[in-house]
Amino acid sequence: MAYKNRMNDMDNKSWLKFQKSWFIHNPPRRKKDVLTHPAKYPETMVQEFIEFFTKEGATVLDPMAGTGSSLVAALRCGRNSYGIELNPKYAGIARDILAEEKASLTEAGQNSSLTAEIINGDAANATSFDIPEIDYLITSPPYWDMLHARGSATQKKRREESDLDVIYSENPDDVGNIRDYEAFLEKLIHIYAAMKPLMRDRAYLTIIVKNVKKGGKIYPLAWDIGRELGKVYTLKDEKVWCQDNQRLAPYGMGNAWVSNTFHHYCLQFRKEDK
């Protein structure tokens, strides 16, 4: 029996494949310009989410856009997109990347008239920007203030490269600079809740995040976001993103249990009448 697919343009096989609750995605190597950003997520992965939660021509928003991964992904699959980025340096890099992507689409004979706009501003003020109704929101927040931690091998390597950032910014409005966990969580939830007036009814929101280890304990950031933001939107489901190409480190060897954490939670919320 034929049915009308109201959500996306996928066939049945692709739909079922995406419904698996976990997946492995090892992104390609990052280009030098986007490597500047200390915590970029892969547009190849984001595109899969955009294609599932929207139809071609829909409008996507990333309120913490960084160097524009979500917008690049949206362009590649025929969606309009808006991104809000607090750091003017990253906003500038994102604009350059999007211009290059549009030029590539034109050269390939594809639709390059799509909107892909970066707004340099604070996501807390999203409703004051000229953003149309949003069909889907996807983003990844700072993992609290963990970029300020000096102990990780990744951060040490980045410090050795003078042109690579180790934190998002020095801006006090940057939630990644809030050192108190509860204050950080409260502001983050406030920002995401403020997106609700921009979203069409029953639009989905995906937040890619993981729990945080700090000072010998775990802070359940993903679970706390699920609980608190679930009071504003309906928490519908989760997908677990696994990375199996990371190098293992002997944390706590012979002394204590400390896992190598190579998974993220992709939390799916939906705007519904509460």
pLDDT tens for 10-67 read 999 999 999 999 999 887 765 555 444 445 678 899 999 999 999 999 999 999 999 9
pLDDT class for 274, splitting at 50, 70, 90? Answer: low
Q: What is the CATH number of domain 12-270?
A: 3.40.50.150
pLDDT class for 2, splitting at 50, 70, 90? Answer: low
Q: What is the DSSP string of 213-274?
A: EETTEEE-HHHHHHHHHTTTSEEEEEEEEE--SSPP--TTTTT-------EEEEEEEE----
Per-residue exposure over 36-74, b if at least 16 CB sit within 10 Å of its own CB, e if not: bbbbbbbbebbbbbbbbbbbeebbbbbbbbbbbbbbbbb
Domain ranges across the chain: 12-270
CA dist list (Å): 210 to 131, 202, 232: 28, 25, 20
